[in-house]
Structure 1
Amino acid sequence: MNGYCGKMLFVNLTDGALEERELTKEMAKHFIGGYGIGARVLFNMMEPNADALGPDNVLGFVTGPLTGTAALFSGRYTVVCKSPVTGGWNDANSGGFFGPELKKAGFDCVFIRGASKKPAYLWINDGKAELRDASVLWGKDILETEKALQRELGGKQIRSALIGPAGEKLSLIAAVMNDGHRAAGRGGCGAVMGAKNLKAVVVRGTGKVPVADSEQLKAINQEILSTIKNGPAAQMANAFSTFGTTLFTFPSALGGDSPVKNWGGVGAVDMGEEAAKKLDGTALDAKYRVKKYACANCPLGCGAIYDA
């Protein structure tokens, strides 16, 4: 089935059971991927009154049909669960390299329920999955955990989605992080992961995702690149590539859509226009930028490392 591995992994942390299930053509056709498949699986697996921070909540890591292929802008995945913030549906999207690596490791998605008695992480290596003890990782921050996992499992070839101390302590604003700096940040999914005593999902894969017509995909990629460089939005694309989302910091502050002290105030009204200018991308870039980086198959590369 082009664009898919055709496999889903279901994990029960309570009893340690791992089960592979087929992702059928019918399901792929009707729900495509990402939170489409995520919504369907959670609807089937969960009761409406399930405690978001309890073992019956299902936490999913879901990719789409372009993830792991050569398609541009395809390096993303979605975390789905019941939100402990709203009590309703939650999806949080993140870039980086975790999503493509999950596909290359042989799975379109992973769904996790239950809660481990002690800290654990899920290790998926080219189609083989196992739960491992994460007690020595508990309490470590994101970067410390990622480096420790790389030392244990085989260097920078591995990719991980993980939580830090905020998720462990069930902070409702905790994110699921991957690739050091990328966040699935909405809805408290990091707290859901922490409630399950799940420190990380770690993947490594060498497989390839099949596509129907690789030459046509190359042609489409070239058309997209041409539009980015020469199309009507070329100037905006170049600016976004240079400054990332900091490009919108100052305009957001002027429009009142910028938080001050956890939304105790808003934008330039409470921050002041001059202070808001100091957070603008042009000011930050000139003073603090160390280097740029990009997510998988992204020609813009809006990420940057800043050192204050």
Structure 2
Amino acid sequence: MAASKTVLITGTSTGIGLAAAVGAARAGWDVVATMRDPGKAGRLLAEAGAVGAAGRIHVERLDVTDAASIASAVARATAAHDGLDAVVNNAGAGVVGTIEVGGMEPVRAAMEVNYFGVVEVTRATMPHLRASKGRLVTVTSVGGVVGQPFNEAYCAAKFAVEGFMEALASVAAAVGVRVSVVEPGAVASEFVASQRIDIPALVAEAGPYGPALQSYIDRALQSFGNAQSAEEAAATVVEVLEAEDPPFRVQTSEWARGFTASKLADVDGSAVQAMMAQWLETR
């Protein structure tokens, strides 16, 4: 990988985003590592320094829910690095609950971060990716393929992202941009802890859904107790960045592949993409 290639990654203060930024820098990419609060970049820079890659990390402020923040960060990054060769949409937020109890606010908030934020970053960076014949990688979730209980808002947003990217992929390919989605399962990272869920209060507020919610939470906690590490999941992101011919859809673990395969016979997305390419063929 040429040292001059530049990737912009969102949500790099913790978890998969942090590990992907370090992994990409270690692989030779110049990394524009974005986060809402650059004051939280200490761990990222320390981990990059530990592997001799701190010089390739360039921290920028970017809030995916703020179009002006996105435009400003992209403008600074492209000016400093003479364009972009890749973008990784990673920033996201979870929400646990059900619509009857939680109402619309959590749904709208989840869509703003997990869906509209991805769309806005994509819109802002596509001209640069088109110019470089680059690639667009989006970290979704197995929850973007299989709907899971008490994750209605989160799964809806991730389903929307998967549909958006699947539809965009063939269009982007027509102008030389490769689009991929990366689907982790349970990942042991601050993503879960950052939700600061008061479990007893959440169960109590769930009313008639309380027993089912408690069962779900018990299973989820067990699942995250045996979760893949953020570094393992991020390694898949870096592999997609580095791949000569990246797939549209890739999972980060054998468990994630098996889980998504329960719904998707076309696990790597190649059949759908071949069909869409035919739709766009000029005669």
TM-score calculated relative to the size of structure 1: 0.29
Larger radius of gyration: 1
Bigger proportion of residues as helix? 2
Bigger proportion of residues as strand? 1
